[in-house]
Chains A and B, each alone.
Chain A
Amino acid sequence: MKSIINNLSLLLFAFVAIVSTTSCEKDHDHDGTGHMHIYFNNRYGLTEALDTNAVKTGTNNRDFRINKVQYYVSNVRLVGHDGNEVPFSGEYLLVKTNGVNELEMEELPTGHYTQLKFDVGVDSVTNHGDPSLLDAESDLSPTNNSGMFWSWNSGYIFFMAEGLVDTNATPNGTVDGPWIFHVGTDSYLSTVSIDIDKQVSEGSHPNINVYLNTAALFSNVDLGGADVITMTMNNMDLATRVKTNYSSAFTAE
């Protein structure tokens, strides 16, 4: 009798397990996989590509130029409509000012994805690891010529934007002084969440384009003033404003 109950409960357990697995699969539409690329692009405004030669006019008639915008993207994941998170590729991507900045996942579980999440920066373990162990070609190598590693205060610059601004007392349109935003250190890691609507079906190849609106970097920043340079530690107030600005300046389609 006892063994029958045991067997029955085992059967029941197996049944529940099968049903739940099946229903799970239905929720996720995990019949197979699709192939996805995520592209990261720098823009100025919501439609214009970032042009490092263009001189823009900011607040108080101050002309400025953006020479460089580069940042690390890590811990990328897609969130399904059921709330489940799927890690995307697991790579650390250094998004450069121009060119193609892409992440690829060849076997992305099929499903309906409604949110894209990623971190701007790198996790603290990576931030305090020994990057000289990495191949020079790695996006994380301090020797890859990207300038994204602080050699005097070992750690990564998570987000770097630099350019020139008209510093003349009476603005005359000559961009002659630097503005520098270098944001890093563990507490400046930020997570970006963007709503998306992507259906990934078996064998499909949908892409996501992520856009950073670099014009938004200057909210609450007076480019005509003295407070335009931060290496984070020397000016945490500005670094915090810049982080807030870029963290909310991403869109995706």
Chain B
Amino acid sequence: MGKTKVFIGICLITALLATGCGKDELEPLDAPYELNLPVGFPPMPVPVGNELTVKRVELGKMLFFDKGMSRDSTVSCGSCHLQTNAFSDVIAISSGIEGRKGMRNSPPLFNLGYHPYYFFDGGVPTLELQVLAPVQDVNEMDHDFPLAVERLAQNPRYQEMARIAYNREFDAFVLTRALGAFERTLVSGNSAYDQYNNGQSSALNESAKRGLALFQSERLSCSGCHGGFNFTDYSFKNNGLAEVYADSGRIRVTAVEADRDKFKVPSLRNVALTAPYMHDGSIASLAQVVEHYNSGGANNPQKDERIKPLNLTAQEKSDLLEFLNALSDYEFTTNAAFAE
């Protein structure tokens, strides 16, 4: 009996010592997250300190779909960013809490790690900082950021994951970084166009191939702004949407007159899935977008020189649409790894 007690005592001491040691040496509790980039995609920049790990991404995904982010717990990131629509919304202006309306169309979310800045006016430099805006915007989640963090921090699961993922308690640091980590994993690059581009000639039909040629032609100049692997050069442009803009665009953050009524050029990947279009969602369909560019747009003093009447034939319009449809990546929109 006595021997057993001594044995248990030794076991306890050993266990305690082992635990103490464990605290000093950082155990590999979390594993790196393997980002499988499509062929032809450059390495994705990741900020120091927020390297992708399994737990960081998992935590970020849980937060992305957590309605507790909003003041009255009715709206999550995922409420206005739907996977089936490449994480954009199907209406012109999404509803925040209590059905409130802001003034801009919910952008799709993919290949975000490559963006040099965020929002249509480019006012925010990192995905981590971007998180602050929708949480605090009175027309979106309308939440006081510290209160949002405080409430989410009561979730023991989040606390446990925060310790594993970031080696600290759940706080604003963890919240912004985990969401940034998850968002960086939203990579899309397996459309019919990509398959064609990677040597599978049959992935595009003849109409789409003609559309691609038109898209890349000097005459249409689409790829002048929507160029590169992500179909955008991230510049700020005015595309002649109206003579007078209700939303003054980038000038809001630069106060430079040349930036008036200009908006960040969006990627055209998955574009057939992201209707309605433009910064204000004012164009309902992709066919109408093609008509808009064909018309040369409204007479706005800031309009880009590339926007001019194109005199497209019915066949050319149809070919362009066929090509734009071939930019849809259904593997992305059905990937269970991104689903709630």
- The interface of chain A, by Cβ under 8 A from chain B, is 128, 130-133, 136, 141-145, 149-154, 185, 232-234, 236
Q: Interface on chain A toward B: helix, strand, loop, or mixed SS?
A: loop
User: Across the two chains, which residue of chain B brings its CB closest to A128?
Assistant: B125
CA distance A141 to B149 in the complex (A): 13
Report whether B171 and A152 are in contact in the complex, using a CB–CB cutoff of 8 Å.
no
Verify if B315 is at the interface (C-beta below 8 Å from A).
Answer: no
Q: Which of A141, A150, A152 contacts B172 (CB 8 A)?
A: A141
CA distance A141 to B136 in the complex (A): 15
The 5 A-B residue pairs with the shortest CB-CB distance in the complex, in nearest-first order: A153-B123, A151-B132, A143-B172, A151-B133, A153-B253
List residues of chain B with CB within 8 A of the CB of A136.
Answer: 146, 149, 171-172
Q: Which of A143, A151, A236 contacts B146 (CB 8 A)?
A: A143
Q: Which of A141, A154, A233 contacts B125 (CB 8 A)?
A: A154
CA distance A185 to B253 in the complex (A): 9
A-B contacts, 11 listed (Cβ < 8 Å):
A132-B131, A132-B173, A136-B146, A136-B171, A141-B172, A145-B144, A151-B129, A151-B135, A152-B123, A153-B252, A154-B129
Q: Which of A143, A144, A154 contacts B123 (CB 8 A)?
A: A154
B-side interface residues, number (CB < 8 Å): 30
Report whether B149 and A143 are in contact in the complex, using a CB–CB cutoff of 8 Å.
yes
List residues of chain A with CB within 8 A of the CB of B146.
Answer: 136, 143-145
How far does the Cβ of A149 sit from chain B's closest Cβ, in whole Å?
A: 7
User: Across the two chains, which residue of chain A brings its CB closest to B148?
Assistant: A143
CA distance A234 to B249 in the complex (A): 11
- Once A151-B136, A152-B119, A152-B124 are accepted as A-B contacts, the answer to whether A130 and B129 lie under 8 Å apart by CB is yes
Q: Interface on chain B toward A: helix, strand, loop, or mixed SS?
A: helix
Report whether B172 and A130 are in contact in the complex, using a CB–CB cutoff of 8 Å.
no
Report whether A145 and B128 are in contact in the complex, using a CB–CB cutoff of 8 Å.
no
- The interface of chain B, by Cβ under 8 A from chain A, is 47, 49, 119, 121, 123-126, 128-129, 131-133, 135-137, 144-146, 149, 171-173, 176-177, 251-255
Pair count A-B, CB < 8 A: 67
Report whether B253 and A132 are in contact in the complex, using a CB–CB cutoff of 8 Å.
no
CA distance A106 to B252 in the complex (A): 43
List residues of chain B with CB within 8 A of the CB of A152.
Answer: 119, 121, 123-124, 133, 137, 253
CA distance A233 to B248 in the complex (A): 11
CA distance A7 to B65 in the complex (A): 78
CA distance A149 to B132 in the complex (A): 10
CA distance A144 to B126 in the complex (A): 20
How far does the Cβ of B290 sit from chain A's closest Cβ, in whole Å?
A: 31
How far does the Cβ of B120 sit from chain A's closest Cβ, in whole Å?
A: 10
Report whether B172 and A132 are in contact in the complex, using a CB–CB cutoff of 8 Å.
yes
Q: Which of B133, B176, B252, B255 contacts A132 (CB 8 A)?
A: B176
Most buried by B among A132, A150, A233: A132
Besides the contacts A130-B126, A142-B132, what 13 more A-B pairs have beta carbons closer than 8 Å?
A130-B128, A131-B129, A132-B128, A143-B132, A143-B145, A143-B146, A143-B172, A145-B146, A150-B123, A151-B132, A151-B136, A154-B124, A234-B252
How far does the Cβ of B123 sit from chain A's closest Cβ, in whole Å?
A: 4
CA distance A154 to B136 in the complex (A): 13
Most buried by A among B119, B126, B177, B255: B255
CA distance A128 to B251 in the complex (A): 18
